[in-house]
Amino acid sequence: FKNIVITSLDVIAAVFDTPVIYPIPRIMEIKSGTAITTTQLDKILLPKNALEDTLFAAEHLKEKLLESIGKKIAIEFYEQNSSFENALIVGLSEEWEALNILSEKPKKEGFVLIGKKGTVYLIGADRNGLLYGSEKLLSLLENGQVPLCKIDDYPRMQFRGIHTGLPPREEIPFFKRFI
């Protein structure tokens, strides 16, 4: 017989020091402090040259934010004098390239979510990346705030499948979003 060594163990519903996000992102750096709260968030800022994928993701986020926090968020387009304060910056990496928000582009179907003081950036590689990032952002906002953070995530495999079971009663709102 061989010895089995367990190097780590995640216990569902255990107390964690950082926000719990499933599936767990590839890279998640959480710092102490709050980037933005749901009460501070007042606009979704898109690039002036926003493509259809970005417009779709912004509308999706706007609807989900109204549904989850009961707040109608305005969608605005970036101008030279636009303020990033209390804004959710959304778009594809090539749309925001001139502002040097990221050091490297997200991978296919991936996204980068950055929470800085007063601003949250959601930059996707493509339409799917923006949608997956939107769901991660909504998970963070369930606590009423987005922490100071950097989340970089992309699929582990080219094909994504799911296995679902019947959720507990308190998880039904998340399960509805998941479907």
pLDDT score at 170: 85
pLDDT score at 15: 61
Query: CA-to-CA distance for 137 and 122, rounded, in angstroms?
Result: 8
Edge-to-edge order in the sheet of strand 74-77: 27-37, 145-153, 111-116, 119-124, 87-92, 43-46, 74-77
Q: What is the mean pLDDT of residues 133-159?
A: 90
Q: In Å, what is the CA distance from 119 to each residue of 53, 81, 160, 168, 169? A: 21, 16, 31, 34, 33
Residue 22 neighbours by CB under 8 Å, 6+ apart? 139
Cβ–Cβ under 8 Å, residues 61 and 134: yes
Cβ–Cβ under 8 Å, residues 137 and 10: no
Cβ–Cβ under 8 Å, residues 73 and 42: yes
Residues 24-47 have pLDDT tens digits of 899 999 999 999 999 999 999 999
Q: How confident is the model at residue 160 (pLDDT cuts 50, 70, 90)?
A: low
Higher-pLDDT residue of 161, 55: 55
Does 116 have pLDDT greater than 90?
Answer: yes
DSSP 8-class letter at 39: T
pLDDT score at 95: 92
Residues 65-98 have pLDDT tens digits of 999 999 999 999 998 888 999 999 999 999 988 7
